[in-house]
Amino acid sequence: MTQTSTPPIAQRRPHAITHHGITVSDDYAWLRDPGYPDVKDKDVLAYLEAENSWFEAAMAPRKPLLDTLFQEMKGRIKEDDQSVPQKDGDYVYWRAFETGAQYRKWYRKPVAGGDDQLILDEPALAEGHDYFRLGAMSVSPDGRYLAYAIDTNGSERFEARIKDLFSGEILPEVIPDTLSSLVWTSDSKGLLYGLANENWRTDNARLHWLGQSVESDVELFHEDDEGFRVSIGLTSSEKYIVIATGDHVTSEAWLLPADNPTAKPLLVAARKAGREYDVDEHEGTLYIRTNDTHPNFRLARATLEAPDQWEEVIGADAHFYLTDFTLFKSFYVTEGRQDGLDQIELRDYATHTPKRIPFPEASYSASLDDNPEYDVTKLRIGYESMVTPDTIYDYDLATGELAVLKVQEIPSGYDATRYATERLMIPARDGTQIPVSIVYPKDFPRDGSAPLHLYGYGAYGIAMEPGFSTSRLSLLDRGFAFALAHIRGGDDLGQQWYLDGKLDKRSNSFTDFVDVAKGLVERGYASRGRISISGGSAGGELMGAVINSDPDLWGAVVAHVPFVDVLNTMLDETLPLTPGEWPEWGNPIEDEAAFRTIHSYDPYANVKAQPYPPLMVTAGLNDPRVTYWEPAKWVARLRATKTDDNILLLKTNMGAGHGGKSGRFESLHETAEEFAFILWQLGVED
């Protein structure tokens, strides 16, 4: 396994599982260390290290290309960049990168005047760690304390700390294993948080009083359903703390007075299977976004005295998907998608008449940006498209004017007129029209001769926004088109779009992606075997499914932390995410139909003796979401089964988790590796 001249071959150790009278073999089950998350098994580590050595050996000749790509990508990043300052109470806050820094520094300045104050130094916190990620952070209402959480190994078990911003002192209280937002009580003396239990599930909301030992913290709420997760937030007015619990299809919310967190919680509405809702408060009136009458959600209101008696404010609409709402003192904002395109609307509390903010392009991404204050005269808005860099606006409520505050700067230069973007509709095999966002050089040929990269996800109701990417320019400038397939399973066209790609309809996501690729070939954007594809996590599952079904379509495939061992994972209720995932994928333990459905598409179970396209796979040893053994087992079975000589690579980050390496330049390096692999396999190397 230590040789690098040939790929490593994992041992086959016969193992099988039987459910519902169906036996499934799993000869690579041994790659799961029984001590996980503490991985120490020598055979497991030896295999992963051998795969890493093979990856390094195979990619070594690509180093000049990789270095070129990395320098291109780095050259498009403004190294000494900073965010647009935003007022919140008595201070103006912003964050900034220094030249050469991997991580940000966080600053504030008194509105009344005074010096800049460094409130959090990420580079200092990251020093000495191979991995660093800042999680939740929150300044207390009186401006004195900063609560923040950090992860130094990628396991997403954050350690919460508290800093006195007046003295610079780090308080002695340290809260390990947090997995939630950090929410202050209104007197700035208490902090609410959630702990991850032994199965990496947040089933609680706890209260810590400053100056007290963490051991004496009080549990305010506990969730008994193993499939539900607890989250903590504040209403827009900051009068109430919201404790929410739910899974992928059902939710429930409780309210606590922010000035009396130990009071009896107020239940907004008891959970009903299949009903989701979220809640905010304005002047004693509750506003509730819910899918109780239609998958696309509606907005209702209720009183604090009868919080479960809902009166409709905005009805559900088959063409408008209500994704969010934000309450301000004198108006409120709804966000959603009209036939798949982002819309932001302002409404008054008296008439609820919508005023839509117009945007200039046919395909774009737009949303509220940082708006921390309740009483405002301007709204901060973010906007971008596949050809327009990230742009921050202030929208003047009185005049309706959009003022540009910042446009993403690209130091090495960028000319938007060199590129074109379109929104296409391509029919799936069942006749459903699938949206596709595509960008390409202006001189891109439509004869199938040029390469194309196709990206997809299609799960959990997560939409693929047609946004801007500086890294993507390295493909476009080498003649590629880049397309996003808005397949079912995401909520790109509304909640029904999501429902039509989950559970027993899961295969729609895979066939949509394949049919989009074939449609792009028919339209001359690509040709078979000249399409590179990529996806991560559930998008990695997508990659596994489509290379099993249509291997000859793809010229190169990159699967990041791919969720490919779906059946085994959904059968193991001890894994962190499994009970909460059953509403998304099905419960194969209790439901034979779900077992058969998952088994029918499971990428690992359906590896077959056939040619496969060139494939690059990544994993994270500390990943709690897609455990490292899923990609490892998949690669082992592919290597033992496939009938071609195409390259197959597995890279496991031994000190990172689901998101890969941390730091803006380290993550760029991994993108450069991905692009170098794609260019190598499609024969577009410099």
Point out the residues that are catalytic. Answer: 537, 623, 658
Question: b/e map of 577-611 (b: 16 or more CB within 10 Å)?
Answer: bbbbbbbbbbbbbeeeebbebbbebbbbbebeeee
Q: Find the length of the chain.
A: 686
Residue 158: name the closest of 127, 195, 131 by CA.
195
State phi, psi for 486 to the nearest 5 degrees: -85, 65
State phi, psi for 193 to the nearest 5 degrees: -155, 170
How many other C-beta atoms lie within 10 A of the C-beta of residue 463?
21
Instruction: Give the rounded distance of the alpha carbon of 653 from its chain centre.
Output: 19
Distances (CA, A) of 59 to 33, 612, 647, 656, 676: 28, 19, 11, 20, 9
Residue 378: name the closest of 357, 355, 356, 401 by CA.
401
State both tokens at 554: 């793809």
Rounded to whole angstroms, the Cα distance separating 310 from 452 reads: 49
Q: Which strand (E) or helix (H) includes residue 335?
A: strand 332-338
Written as one letter, the residue type at 189 is K
Rounded to whole angstroms, the Cα distance separating 442 from 671 reads: 24
Rounded to whole angstroms, the Cα distance separating 457 from 332 reads: 32
How many other C-beta atoms lie within 10 A of the C-beta of residue 377?
11
Instruction: Give the rounded distance of the alpha carbon of 623 from its chain centre.
Output: 14
Rounded to whole angstroms, the Cα distance separating 179 from 596 reads: 34
How many other C-beta atoms lie within 10 A of the C-beta of residue 655?
15
